[in-house]
Amino acid sequence: MSYDRTATFTAVRAALMASYSGALATTRLSPLEALECMAAALGSLYREVADAHIDPQGCHCGWQPHAVLDMVALEQAMAANGARDEDEDMFDLRSIAPAGHG
């Protein structure tokens, strides 16, 4: 089975952006608080998936979770995608009109 990691990333990112936008639109959370909720949800999801792979009756795909190393890998993925290069042009989200407000 093959998959396109870029397409998967794009689809997951779009789903997360929709959830993030929804959280901002329906709560009084700050942008960082909404992102912290998303990070907490990801941690919770990791724990659930890891538990399913620890259970002898669980998934038999062969992946063996290692909480410390897995958390480091997740942190590195966030840092690699969250840091902005100094040379990179900054995209201004304020330039986008919210849906239904145009």
pLDDT tens-place string over residues 51-97: 999 988 888 898 999 999 999 999 999 999 998 777 666 666 666 66
Q: Is residue 22 part of a domain?
A: yes
Q: Is residue 19 predicted with pLDDT exceeding 70?
A: yes
pLDDT score for 72: 95
Secondary structure in 3-state letters for the chain: CCCCHHHHHHHHHHHHHHHHHHHHHHCCCCHHHHHHHHHHHHHHHHHHHHHHHHCCCCCCCCCCCCHHHHHHHHHHHHHHHHCCCCCCCCCCHHHCCCCCCC
For residue 45, what are the domain limits? Answer: 5-83
Which pLDDT score is estimated for 84?
A: 77
Share of the chain above pLDDT 90, in %: 68
Residue 97 lies in a domain: no
Question: Does a structural domain hold residue 94?
Answer: no
**So what's the pLDDT on residue 99?**
59
Position 62 in a domain: yes
- Residues 19-32 have a mean pLDDT of 95
Domain count, the chain: 1
Q: Is residue 101 part of a domain?
A: no
In this structure, is residue 95 part of a structural domain?
A: no
